[in-house]
A and B are shown apart, each in its own frame.
Chain A
């Protein structure tokens, strides 16, 4: 790989400094929550004022504001690239402020691969319009027409060489103006910052022991708290000995509010020891309410459902010659953050500040305020990065834990960190799902009709309401869990990507939305798309096999979207799909494709695996992705590589386990994930840049295709079609034997 351009030390420090700045307490800027006009691009609809997104200080320093959060996906760097390019300022001069209810616009959740589309869109438009304002001001001062002036490297330059720095011009520009719906963007052909691989601003601190995470936040006089969670979902505290823990060294407080138990100590390990002592003394009444794990698919499809007929298309053509059908299942799966959730909260004079790695500072604030009966303006939530979350993990719950305890310890900051088993047992899992598909082929090997059904809970129980927080559920004044709602299409939740992108003249798709949630669930990276793409793309291979057509050709035969065809061809080409050779025993090739949400990035994955005795090892992966206009190509590659490996882990190994009462997968011994011995020999990501096209979110584009590529490669290698996730060695061996 060619060396990437390097950030100067100054920017590195500013990157790290941005965290420090956001730790300081400042009041809300006026107008941050005014009603927004519609029709503005990206998140400008949330806050149309240019200075909500970018401000130029008198010293020429530029601050970029985003309501989105850096989750390790590298959006901080990409957003700065966008702002620097459109504004015409070296990246080194930019400082980024991320999600903070005290400082940034309300951009909701950082989720769904939306950040570059929404926040990037707002910042790009704001930067472009600010640049126009600076040029207009320069034109006024110089008495020259605007179209003769160039805005680059932090200054406006006239044809005769006269220069006016932005710092000087900014004084004469009112930046608190509403954005116009349309902007004049720079020509992609002239890009010098966007579409070039840029080193991430957050990595230097992360590899030198800098304070990079909320876990590293140490405020003066800070206390350490640990929670004692109930052993199971509806457990009620029968009895507990608070005194024993209270008497332990360093313990400042033993806290009980209903079923919510916590200890607070001066030192962190003192809190851990007190927690263990408190936990050992707690007696709980438990209720066996969990579904039968051995027959999970039956339990899921037996839940009451609201049926949503999301596609019903018939043109009367197509003569079915042969019909195939199949059922696919997915277990509950865990986000599995490596760092258990953590938060710091401090109550001062009735106002509460919470430092949290939540994906949504505004919704989290609303939920915490409701739980504590505080007005919204008395609660401030500041995002500080945590360990990767991949969706709604324990972050919001930890924030609520810290908030509840901090209110009882006025003045002193309280840091809560969950233990490993608490994260594993109490985080909201990715929902279990079942899909059924049947389709007919005509005599020519085309799909004559297609019927698809998916059973799933919602894929978001994120806060907004207090009842979505564990602390609010467990405290004596218990808030009820809010009713689940299906997420609307076109993005969808359980039905995300349930409608194939393929040309299917006769197709029906039904979403059986399941309001009852026997297991705590919420959003996990790519939501239902992972399972729907796994199902659809597995089944496409089954159909291709039945038709006797190469799987890549079969897909192309059913696609008229030119960009979809391009990524498929590129992945197949770079993989050497056509020349992949005849099958050697135990070796197989798999291919899969999807356009995430049918409206974000396109991604195709080709894969070679080895499976001798049931154990599957991925050898080589080649993928192609079209994310529209590229911002940071290295960032996209990193995201797609990660998506493929994470999905391989979900697909090959992972399932939450439980008995009738309790979650039993509580650590990495009982919830195994990918380790280095199973990491592929190589993973390639090829990007198709689309200059001038809209940004397409790419962070979750790889999960679905990677999963189906694994299944298709296993089928190619062994002749066995596995449809029940995870596709682990145990199942493969069982099928291999039964296939005898």
Chain B
């Protein structure tokens, strides 16, 4: 049994300490956004945030996460009240099958929180660990730029930094 804080709620988790975070999110907590893609840290589909940094949840055993804050796409916004990053992906229609998208969005969220004025080169560099097979890359890039603009509009003080 260990305590794991996900999207602001602390859960008592009954799983072996070597269980990767991804399986706990999906199987124990019933969350959908983080996806199993490779289990090897090669594709980015499982990306979530731990203390505001993008992390590949398929290779992170929960034993490492005591006292840490885990955030998944579900924790950013909802259908009714989408977060800027979600709104941006909808507005740019930045998905085909969409399986890789949740991971991409979490990576972008972590980037834009740390670097509100991220350049196109920064965004491409940050997304390098992520694979998309449908070829939606152009729209994903546009959506991250749009999200950056939305986030700056939401938080003009930080956005001007």
Map CB proximity to A onto B56-87 as digits: 1 under 8 Å, 0 otherwise.
Answer: 00000000000000001110011110100010
In the assembly, what is the distance between CA of A212 and CA of B73, in Å? 14
A207 CB contact (under 8 Å) in B31, B45, B105, B141: B105
For B100, list chain A residues within 8 Å (CB). 338
**When A and B form their complex, which 7 residue pairs have the shortest distance between CB atoms, in order from nearest?**
A72-B97, A645-B135, A388-B97, A642-B135, A209-B33, A206-B98, A387-B99
For A3, list chain B residues within 8 Å (CB). 91
In the assembly, what is the distance between CA of A638 and CA of B82, in Å? 23
For B78, list chain A residues within 8 Å (CB). 208
Residues B72 and A209 in contact, CB atoms below 8 Å apart: yes
Residues A641 and B135 in contact, CB atoms below 8 Å apart: yes
Residues A638 and B96 in contact, CB atoms below 8 Å apart: yes
**With an 8 A cutoff between CB atoms, is A240 at the interface?**
no
For A675, list chain B residues within 8 Å (CB). 128, 130-131
In the assembly, what is the distance between CA of A249 and CA of B72, in Å? 28
Residues A641 and B40 in contact, CB atoms below 8 Å apart: no
Residues B124 and A679 in contact, CB atoms below 8 Å apart: yes
B96 CB contact (under 8 Å) in A73, A249, A340, A669: A73
- With A675-B128, A679-B124 already in contact, the answer to whether A203 and B135 are too (CB < 8 A) is no
**With an 8 A cutoff between CB atoms, is A224 at the interface?**
yes
Residues A338 and B128 in contact, CB atoms below 8 Å apart: no
Interface residues of A in 1-28 (CB under 8 A from B): 1, 3-4, 9, 12-13
- Nearest Cβ on chain B to A18's Cβ, whole angstroms: 15
Give 29 CB contacts A-B under 8 Å: A9-B80, A72-B98, A203-B98, A206-B95, A207-B89, A208-B74, A209-B32, A210-B32, A213-B35, A224-B27, A267-B15, A269-B19, A269-B27, A272-B39, A339-B36, A339-B45, A388-B97, A388-B99, A388-B133, A417-B36, A638-B96, A638-B136, A641-B139, A642-B135, A646-B135, A674-B131, A676-B127, A676-B141, A682-B138
Residues B35 and A339 in contact, CB atoms below 8 Å apart: yes
Residues A207 and B72 in contact, CB atoms below 8 Å apart: no
In the assembly, what is the distance between CA of A386 and CA of B99, in Å? 8
**With an 8 A cutoff between CB atoms, is A542 at the interface?**
no
- Nearest Cβ on chain A to B54's Cβ, whole angstroms: 14
- Name A's interface SS: loop
Residues B133 and A203 in contact, CB atoms below 8 Å apart: no
In the assembly, what is the distance between CA of A683 and CA of B138, in Å? 7
- Name B's interface SS: loop
In the assembly, what is the distance between CA of A634 and CA of B138, in Å? 13
| 13 further interface pairs, Cβ-Cβ under 8 Å (given A207-B101, A212-B98, A676-B141) | A12-B79, A202-B98, A210-B32, A215-B36, A339-B99, A420-B38, A638-B93, A641-B136, A641-B139, A646-B135, A673-B133, A674-B131, A676-B130
- Residues on B close to A: CB < 8 A? 15-16, 19-20, 23, 26-28, 30-33, 35-40, 42-43, 45, 72-74, 77-80, 82, 86, 89-93, 95-102, 105, 124-125, 127-128, 130-139, 141
Residues B32 and A216 in contact, CB atoms below 8 Å apart: yes
In the assembly, what is the distance between CA of A200 and CA of B105, in Å? 18
**With an 8 A cutoff between CB atoms, is A199 at the interface?**
yes
For B125, list chain A residues within 8 Å (CB). 676-677
Interface size class of A (residues with CB under 8 A): 35 or more
User: Closest A-chain residue to B75, C-beta based?
Assistant: A209
In the assembly, what is the distance between CA of A124 and CA of B32, in Å? 35
**With an 8 A cutoff between CB atoms, is A227 at the interface?**
no
For A12, list chain B residues within 8 Å (CB). 79
**With an 8 A cutoff between CB atoms, is A74 at the interface?**
yes
In the assembly, what is the distance between CA of A336 and CA of B99, in Å? 13
**With an 8 A cutoff between CB atoms, is A680 at the interface?**
yes
Map CB proximity to B onto A355-391 as digits: 1 under 8 Å, 0 otherwise.
Answer: 0000000000000000000000000000001111010
- With A215-B36, A338-B43, A668-B42 already in contact, the answer to whether A205 and B79 are too (CB < 8 A) is yes
In the assembly, what is the distance between CA of A388 and CA of B45, in Å? 13
Residues B99 and A207 in contact, CB atoms below 8 Å apart: no
Residues A207 and B135 in contact, CB atoms below 8 Å apart: no
For B30, list chain A residues within 8 Å (CB). 218
For A669, list chain B residues within 8 Å (CB). 40, 42
User: Closest A-chain residue to B136, C-beta based?
Assistant: A642
